[in-house]
Amino acid sequence: MSCVLAAGGLTASDLTALLLGLGVLLGLARTLGEIARWLGQPAVLGEIAAGVLLGPTVLGRFFPGLHEVVFPAEGGAFLALGGFLTVAVTLLLLIAGLELDLSVVWRQGKAALLISLSGLLLPAGIGVALGFGAPMMLGKAEAAPVLPFALFLGIAMAITALPIIAKVLMDLNMFRTDLGMLIMSAAMVDDLIGWMAFAVVLALMVGGPHDAPTLSVAGTIVGTLLFAGFALTLFRYAVHKALPWIQARTSWPGGVLGLMLSLALLCAALTEWLGVHAIFGAFLAGIAIGDSSHLRERTKATVHDFVSYVFAPVFFASIGLRLDFFSAFDPLITAVVVVVAIVVKVGGCGLGARLAGLTGRESWAIGFGMSARGAMEIVLAQLAKGAGLITDKLFVAIVLMALITSLLAGPMIQKVLRRRRSVKVGDLVTDGAFIRRLESTTAAQAIAELMRTLADRLGVPVEDAIRQAVERERLVGTGLGDGIAAPHCRLPINGPLVAVGLSDTGLDFDAADGSLARMVILLITPQDDATVHLELLSDLAHTLTDSEAKAAALRSTSYMEMKAAFNTVHPPTHA
């Protein structure tokens, strides 16, 4: 039976393969992505690994028949999956554009410009030189001309990975610092110029062996520049002016979502027609829309969550789907690409930072931060491979380079600046320090009951610790209201400790709203580190502003449910 939808043309077996393929890609990519995160690595590492497992490298090698059923290499399901992946990567670039905030760049001024230009020109120059010097050795495709290949290599060295950088800075509590904003601004300029340049490179490929070009090279370049100029000025202004009207007059959030997505798709279609790939249009649409201060954080979060956790994992997993990573791995090309990529970017950005008057340590931090290439580099390499510019060997080398530079950024900044990762209440609580039903009937008893669960991890006898915490409680009650209390004290320990208890009857922690505490969160922080203490209190306060998470915490009936409540809080919004 063929359940052909009106606009279909696909048979039932095509649809089965398409849905099965998407479901398997998404499921395995998200699973391995989470495992990568547990190991302290970026999720994209696991997502790519999922594709390697499902592609010719593993599944296709050992179960070629099964691989062909789930991911056929021709026919309706093949084409439909390809179309879906194009939409996925287009939306991925839309959210990358949404994150790029031009106004932040203007505010940072000269220093940002110096860092970004130095961090752009040096890597790009060396990349181009290498491309001209040894194209075949580095993996230029036989049929591709040298000029676009060398330009591509320059761009591949020069671009950065905004999402990775933003994530690293947030983890280290540096996102809102001057240094953090400087790194972000410089990275934005690099990406903007890098992607514009790549559009030109793709235009130079027009008239390649595959397809009849719609426009001449000059037409493509002029058209692309005109569109970019239009998108970043008039288009951006029009969206900013229209948003209040859209948000006031149309359904919420449907009006904005529909506008955002349809504009992104239309801009993508335009740049694809111009000959510079769809994603460039979506990226520019994202910048133009995301720049408006009228756009609500919640709308951005909806698009961001759906795209990063549904479309993006499928896209990254698809990379390994048609490529045998074993046979395409070339140690020499990989080593050259990885070493050059790190040296030129750390050197270029660090040099710019020194010239802008930053300290040595700060300059190293900026260098390593901006060296992260991340997901965007992989998208770029994917396009270059699709356009017949590079060999599979160089592609694999660039994917590995993107992963390695991204893995390095966090630990290196941490080491250079001696920062530590920010702590969260939810991450500190453990199964052993959780009491489902507190037996206590007073605040002091509850503090003692909870403190005993931490006994062997305290630096002092548990009775001393209890005495200190209870005394602290007597000074001012730590009831936060709404049924939650957070008694705390500081002890000579190395790292912070948290214990959580639930009380069915409620305990009097002298809250301002008069409510009895049904959840008691005991916080113990190191005596010699005041910032940890403030960080934990501020994280707790933020958690409690999320009314759904707070309600879930209060009605939790097990350790896992309590832990889930603390984990399902949306991060503070960054304007």
Return the number of the residue (370 or 381) whose C-beta is nearest a second copy.
Answer: 381
Told to check if 96 binds a second copy by CB under 8 A, we report: no
Q: Using CB under 8 A, which residues numbered 221 to 260 contact a second copy?
A: 243-255, 257-259
**Alpha-carbon span 428 to 102, nearest angstrom:** 37
Of 132-140, 295-303, 405-413, 497-505, the segment contacting a second copy by CB under 8 A is 295-303
Enter the tokens of residue 108.
Answer: 């940072």
**Alpha-carbon span 356 to 542, nearest angstrom:** 36
Told to check if 309 binds a second copy by CB under 8 A, we report: yes
Return the number of the residue (67 or 488) whose C-beta is nearest a second copy.
Answer: 67
- The one-letter amino acid at 170: M
Told to check if 365 binds a second copy by CB under 8 A, we report: no
Q: Using CB under 8 A, which residues numbered 314 to 353 contact a second copy?
A: 318-319, 321-323
Per the rule left: phi > 0, alpha: psi between -120 and 50, beta: everything else, 520 is: beta
Q: Using CB under 8 A, which residues numbered 507 to 536 contact a second copy?
A: none
**Alpha-carbon span 121 to 124, nearest angstrom:** 5
Q: Is the peptide bond before 64 cis (omega within 30 degrees of 0)?
A: no
DSSP-assigned beta bridge partners for residue 489: 524
Q: Candidates 294, 419, 457, 542: give the one binding a second copy (CB under 8 A).
A: 294
Per the rule left: phi > 0, alpha: psi between -120 and 50, beta: everything else, 137 is: alpha
Cβ count within 10 A of residue 305: 12
Binding mask 544-573 for a second copy (x = CB under 8 A): -x-xx---x-----x-xx-xx--xxxx--x
Q: Candidates 375, 387, 454, 484: give the one binding a second copy (CB under 8 A).
A: 387
Told to check if 306 binds a second copy by CB under 8 A, we report: yes
Give the list of residues 6+ apart from residue 246 with CB closer than 8 angstroms, or none: 255, 256, 259
Return the number of the residue (76 or 347) whose C-beta is nearest a second copy.
Answer: 76
Q: Using CB under 8 A, which residues numbered 1 to 60 contact a second copy?
A: 1-16, 18-20, 22-24, 26-27, 29-31, 33-34, 37, 43
Enter the tokens of residue 538.
Answer: 């501020």
Residue with tokens 């879906």: 84
Q: Using CB under 8 A, which residues numbered 170 to 209 contact a second copy?
A: 202, 205-208
Asked whether 433 and 497 are in contact (CB, 8 A), the reply is yes
Q: Candidates 144, 261, 346, 553: give the one binding a second copy (CB under 8 A).
A: 261
User: Of the candidates 97, 108, 78, 85, which has an alpha carbon nearest to the alpha carbon of residue 11?
Assistant: 78
Residue environment code for 505-538, b if the CB has 16+ CB neighbours within 10 A, otherwise e: eebbbebeeebebbbbbbbbbbeebeebbebbbe
Question: Least distance from C-beta 531 to a second copy, angstroms?
Answer: 25
Binding mask 107-146 for a second copy (x = CB under 8 A): ----------------------------------------
Return the number of the residue (313 or 487) whose C-beta is nearest a second copy.
Answer: 313
Q: Is 45 helix (H, G, I), strand (E, B) or coil?
A: helix
User: Of the candidates 380, 391, 485, 315, which has an alpha carbon nearest to the alpha carbon of residue 159?
Assistant: 380
Per the rule left: phi > 0, alpha: psi between -120 and 50, beta: everything else, 504 is: alpha
Told to check if 385 binds a second copy by CB under 8 A, we report: yes
CA dist 123 to 136, 179, 389, 446, Å? 20, 22, 20, 60
Return the number of the residue (242 or 460) whose C-beta is nearest a second copy.
Answer: 242
Return the number of the residue (87 or 232) whose C-beta is nearest a second copy.
Answer: 87
Told to check if 538 binds a second copy by CB under 8 A, we report: no
Q: Using CB under 8 A, which residues numbered 262 to 281 contact a second copy?
A: 262-266, 268-269, 272-273, 275, 277-278
Question: Least distance from C-beta 309 to a second copy, angstroms?
Answer: 4
Q: Candidates 383, 412, 428, 522: give the one binding a second copy (CB under 8 A).
A: 383
Element (H, E) at 525: strand 517-526
DSSP-assigned beta bridge partners for residue 140: 390
Told to check if 411 binds a second copy by CB under 8 A, we report: no
Question: Least distance from C-beta 183 to a second copy, angstroms?
Answer: 23
Return the number of the residue (33 or 496) whose C-beta is nearest a second copy.
Answer: 33
